[in-house]
Structure 1
């Protein structure tokens, strides 16, 4: 007796959306970590393309979370409101900055980066497929291998025609931030050995061409990860408090750190002389600690003599120099609230989140300026990636595996 036909409904639009989303995640998770090792502008070029693909996919299949409730929660989040205060104060500082044209251009780039991160956040599906998220550790492994090869045999191995000046440093910083969501995802899938191997591979990539800032960032991130894994509440509290406190009291740091640095490194070492320049900036014009000198003055001021050439190029210095107490304290509160909020999410992801926060803050404190677009793009990518990993936690174990465990226990 012939069976009744049961044709499967095929929707080409849904298939196209799934394909676009897979391509977008492949570009964000795999191609970007690899290409960032050899191309300086890979981050600012590929990330928007990947986000656009995710937006198109979400517009087709509408598998993202409802936008209106997400916007409402975002607009009432203390961290987001404090961050918007920093942006608004930056806009207001345009009235007294001596570099209006460059400041407007840089502020527009900052707004575009924030918009990119928000669009990527809203475009993510409500439930992430494991097949897409496993691309993340694969991309970190591939990027680490490329970095090791370039570190051992020279950057001349990069493809011809690609501007690779300084690309490896930026690519390694991208790996330092992406390794934490990759570790969090693997550990949430109970793949601890793979997570350990991934961490060791990234560490090896950093030691092949050692840089003090990068090694310190990975070490601090690993410390935060270890403390939070052992005592989650303590790890979250320490990461949030130390980061926010350092930013809030940054003008006092050169007065405290300079004697220690002079004793350890000598009074004429570059680091100590940089702290001396910071001291002079604070003492010569203390009133400017209230309003700041205006957006973009830290970078441009060195070129025209407003700042010593050896003045620090860190976020701690530039926040206070450009935005004063209002911008710095608002940023400190936003940082504190963000870290505490990250510590209230899925427990399996909290150590990775703290490691990423600590590593990113260390990089910002040791040599990355306030508004370098490639750096802001990397932070935006890390945020989107962590949200994607969080949305892949809707199922903690596979049904067949769970059933097998129950049979073994019985």
Structure 2
């Protein structure tokens, strides 16, 4: 996950760039304007979009508009995600999708993509800095096994723009080592009015934590049905039903809506019906979210034009979860929320309000009905009907004493020791 932070910074610095897109069109018509969008009617034309974005020749189709005019079956097609990360120059946005793709209610089905090499952003779209909307995806399989891969999704690998009114249905299998989700693997944008059904998220890889410390990893981390890992932005009015499975030892950050929710603007009106299973151990697991919060240990106070406002970081409101969590030996487990993240010496705060959960938890160590661990955080007006190993779990928060640490914490301590 630390790698995604550096990627996010590089992209933020580069987003001010403009790019011209190619004048010639391999599509079924249109000029790329909002009034006369490029029209895509065949799988070959969708492949042409992918090729033009990925080689940089179209400048990411910055500001261009596309519409899908037919359902597309991608069975048997060697797919390449639309938009990719230039790993040699992460600030290069010309090979990322920066246009508007309107599915017009059509379906893209039977897409298969697999990778055993480093990749950031895998799905129908790889890197989205534009807008993807009104699209149905069905029977999608994405598998990325390299330990340096990030942001694996069915519809979008990594979203820094908008994804809305998108559905994922059928039988879908999305597998990766870091940030694995149904709608998007990684997110720093807006995701709303999306639904996920019939989806299995497979979190690959193993962790080992010496001396009882639990430290953020870049392997076997962040798996969720809607979003794998979200580092800002918003997730609103989304529904999800499916399974999250961690296949190795000591996975981190598993949830029904998202594996992690950091620095979020809003997370509202979402529902999840999820089964979460780990093989051995694990940390930061919740029916809604594994870990979250912002890089703050309490309220954020801001003043705009003389008006002082207080906003709690990463507030999650009006969400409803039904969960079965089988996590033998896992810690930081909650019916709704796993834990906050210990970041640069402070345990980050979160707020969960007006949410409800009905969950069955088995095998976890000292979990909470709402949160596995809560420090400087607020849980209010939440309803929980949760059992632990068949018995009613009445503790709202768990008793875990070990903090879940950021990977940067070790670097901070080393720097302090050297000073």
TM-score, length of structure 1 as denominator length: 0.26
Structure ID, larger Rg: 1
Which gives a bigger RCO, structure 1 or 2 (Cα 8 Å, sep 6+)?
Answer: 1
Say which structure is richer in helix.
1
TM-score (norm 2): 0.26
